[in-house]
C-alpha cells in the first residue's frame, strides 16, 4: 500500500476537525485514513509552533527579513561577478 503525502493545509484541516470534537477522534482518523498516533503528532507539532505564529511579527516578518537579506546578497554576488569578469578580460 502506498503512503499518502498530506499537504500542510490538509494536516491543519484534519487537526482542527479533531479539535472541534463534533465527532469522535476515531471517526475523524478513520475518515481520513490516518492513525490516532499520526493525528497526535500533527496536533502536537501545531501546538508547538503556534507560539511562533503569534510572536512579535510572526513567521511572515521573519520570512520577509530573510527574503530581503537574500536579495541583498544576490546583488552583491552579481556585482562581484561583474567586477571579476572585468578584471579577467
Is the confidence at residue 2, as pLDDT, over 80?
no
Burial class, 14, CB count within 10 angstroms (exposed 0-12 / middle 13-18 / buried 19+)? buried
Is the confidence at residue 1, as pLDDT, over 60?
no
Q: What is the pLDDT of residues 40-57, one digit of tens each?
A: 999 999 998 887 777 766
Q: Could you tell me the pTM of the whole model? A: 0.59
Going by C-beta distance under 8 Å and a sequence separation of 6 or more, which residues neighbour residue 42?
11, 14, 15
Amino acid at each position: 500500500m502506498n503512503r499518502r503525502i498530506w499537504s500542510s493545509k490538509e494536516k491543519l484541516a484534519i487537526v482542527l476537525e479533531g479539535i472541534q470534537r463534533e465527532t469522535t477522534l476515531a471517526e475523524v482518523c478513520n475518515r481520513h485514513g490516518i492513525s490516532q498516533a499520526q493525528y497526535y503528532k500533527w496536533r502536537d507539532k501545531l501546538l508547538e509552533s503556534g507560539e511562533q505564529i503569534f510572536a512579535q511579527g510572526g513567521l511572515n516578518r521573519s520570512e520577509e527579513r530573510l527574503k530581503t537579506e537574500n536579495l541583498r546578497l544576490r546583488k552583491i554576488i552579481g556585482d562581484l561577478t561583474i567586477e571579476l569578469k572585468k578584471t579577467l578580460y
